[in-house]
């Protein structure tokens, strides 16, 4: 098991001392489904997983820094976090991904399990796509607004695709599923987050229960997103398959972020966010830190951790690298 945990001082990892990670050349598969990647995180293999390291927050103007520090004896103010990826070691096109995880509990924590393209074949985000197996908010009690009491904290997760010819044009709302829990939360127990990705469609599951199926037909994502109605817009996927941009190799990312001004944490939420989304990144981060008395009491030990039990990837058929 790997633990990406959140404290004011540090996000990090815990390890055991037994090495076990499997990567198999998919061309050598004889029977299907064929397991081509498995990491049970009995140890942390730096030859497979690369740490993202940043000197400042990422494109969502989040409030953490990403580091490869796996000890607990240093301090970077205000918040240090971890994001790991397989970009340089393992990527794949089409297959099934299972990630068994227990989500964090703590206000304004933002865990994610996702896939990104190895190469931006169709252009900058979101033109080359993004596949989100899981996103959630760490708040134990968070509602859409004072009037809408729908729980959107760790009692709910989303699974989705991002795709569009250019930013901010993004077909994400058409390929988004949200799942809630009646009892407990996704932070109280482990669940398996899955995607089955083929040359015909993409399906998302939680604990083998279907959340969303995306099948765009032969006209592809350009027509499905109604981008043909945009003035002076060109189709970045016209030379791809019907699944473009989801017909290229993608790699795996596991990360835990905090806050941000991209309105994933909206100003209408209840309780109110302890920062101003209209502030620039540095100012919003300062506001968040100055209001730590509002959220710090909810960050309790390893409860703030994104805990990953395993990651597994299967190739599903002999010709799964082919496109139509």
Q: Which residues are catalytic?
A: 130, 135
Peptide bond into 279 cis (omega under 30): no
Cα 213 off chain centre by = 18
What is the C-alpha separation between 65 and 70, in angstroms, rounded?
14
Give the integer Cα–Cα distance in Å for 38 and 35. 7
Distance of CA 212 to the CA centre of its chain: 16
List Cβ neighbours of 192 (8 Å cut-off, separation of 6 or more): 98, 99, 100, 205, 206, 207, 208
Query: What's the Cα-to-Cα distance from 32 to each of 29, 37, 94, rounded to whole Å?
Result: 7, 14, 13
Q: Is 222 helix (H, G, I), strand (E, B) or coil?
A: helix
Helix (H) or strand (E) holding 290: helix 281-290
| SS3 (DSSP) at 66 | strand
Distance CA 65, CA 84 (A): 13
Tokens 């010819």: give the residue: 165
**Whether 103 contacts 71, CB under 8 Å:** no
| Contacts of residue 136, Cβ cutoff 8 Å, sequence gap at least 6 | 103, 110, 111, 153, 154, 156, 157, 158, 186
Contact 39, 290 (CB under 8 A): no
Contact yes or no for 81/11 (Cβ under 8 A)? yes
């Amino acid at each position: 098991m790997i633990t990406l945990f959140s404290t004011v001082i540090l996000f990090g990892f815990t390890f055991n001392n037994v090495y076990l990670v499997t990567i198999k050349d998919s061309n050598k598969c004889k029977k299907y489904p064929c397991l081509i990647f498995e990491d049970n995180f009995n140890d942390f293999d730096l030859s497979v997983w690369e740490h993202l390291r940043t000197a400042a927050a990422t494109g969502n103007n989040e409030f953490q820094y990403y580091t490869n520090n796996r000890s607990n004896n240093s301090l970077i103010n205000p918040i240090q976090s971890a994001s790991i990826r397989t970009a340089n070691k393992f990527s794949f096109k089409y297959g099934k991904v299972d990630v068994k995880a227990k989500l964090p509990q703590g206000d304004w924590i933002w865990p994610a399990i996702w896939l990104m393209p190895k190469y931006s074949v169709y252009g900058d985000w979101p033109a080359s796509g993004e596949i989100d197996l899981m996103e959630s908010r760490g708040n134990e009690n968070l509602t859409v607004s004072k009037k809408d009491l729908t729980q959107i904290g760790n009692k709910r997760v989303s699974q989705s695709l991002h795709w569009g010819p250019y930013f901010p044009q993004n077909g994400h709302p058409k390929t988004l599923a949200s799942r809630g829990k009646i009892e407990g939360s996704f932070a109280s127990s482990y669940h398996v987050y899955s995607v089955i990705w083929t040359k015909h469609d993409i399906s998302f599951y939680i604990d083998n229960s279907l959340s969303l199926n995306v099948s765009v037909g032969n006209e592809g994502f350009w027509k499905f997103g109604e981008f043909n109605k945009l003035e002076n817009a060109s189709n970045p996927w016209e030379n791809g398959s019907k699944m473009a941009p989801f017909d290229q190799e993608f790699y795996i990312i596991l990360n835990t972020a905090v806050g941000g001004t991209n309105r994933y944490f909206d100003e209408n939420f209840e309780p109110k966010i302890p920062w101003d989304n209209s502030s620039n990144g540095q100012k919003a981060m300062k506001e968040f830190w100055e209001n730590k008395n509002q959220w710090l009491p909810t960050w309790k030990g390893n409860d703030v951790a994104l805990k990953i039990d395993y990651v597994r990837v299967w190739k599903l058929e002999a010709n799964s690298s082919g496109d139509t």
